[in-house]
Structure 1
């Protein structure tokens, strides 16, 4: 089910569906072109495109994300811990996010995020 939720969300963003959140279309397209990002849950908000390991609030919030600026794209570590880079194109930004994904980052799971060491 989570793959369907993730796929539907990406499709709605790409098609600019009226019920979809709004984000930078170029960033959304560039992120979707990256297979590892395409399996994560995308969440555009406040000029940023964040990626999550799950499909419902509370979010994982532990992955790098893209912030759109006037003439560049900033890639931040989770929670704005560090600026990972400033690049000129959304494609470079998406590639930089992929380069900084944790090695254990797989497809998003359905529902709210459960911390790995927390009880169900």
Structure 2
């Protein structure tokens, strides 16, 4: 795992590892649990994590533009989670009451030869893979 990936996970864990405050969104606690569960999985921990809109995304590269070939996990009301993707235009894969089940669904759908995260953006990763696969 690269220092870049480790640092991204550290930042996310530090942000969501804090106890929630009354003014925080009701999605805070379930999202924080999701982050902890995902971080505990070695296959996901080697990927670059990023968050937005109460979603946890995983990229096979470290720089924007990130890859969009891994499902992501959204946090829903009532402590539920949804697994979607890998693209936003793809129908929802499933909803679950468990962060563990959501993480397992993502792991089951990881692309072949997934990880560790490539240092660079999605275009550079694609060029690297094309050259590697043509040998």
The TM-score with structure 1 as length reference comes to: 0.84
1:112 to 104, 121, 125: 121
| Separation in 2, partners of 1:102, 1:46 | 24
Instruction: Say what the alpha-carbon RMSD is for the aligned residues.
Output: 2.2
Structure holding more helix per residue: 2
| Separation in 1, partners of 2:93, 2:37 | 18
Of structures 1 and 2, the one with the larger relative CO (CA 8 A, separation 6+) is 1
* 1:49 aligned residue: 56
* 1:78 aligned residue: 86
* 1:98 aligned residue: 107
3-state SS of 1:106 partner = coil
The TM-score with structure 2 as length reference comes to: 0.76
Contact 2:55–2:74, Cα closer than 8 Å, also in 1: yes
- The answer to whether structure 1 residue 10 and structure 2 residue 9 are counterparts is yes
Structure holding more strand per residue: 1
Contact 2:69–2:111, Cα closer than 8 Å, also in 1: no
Runs of 4+ in 1 over 2 A off after TM superposition: 115-120
> Over residues 75-100 of structure 1, what are the superposed CA-to-partner deviations in whole Å (9 max), with x where a residue is unaligned?
01211313221111111111111011
Gaps of 5+ in 2: 17-27
Gaps of 5+ in 1: 18-22
Structure ID, larger Rg: 2
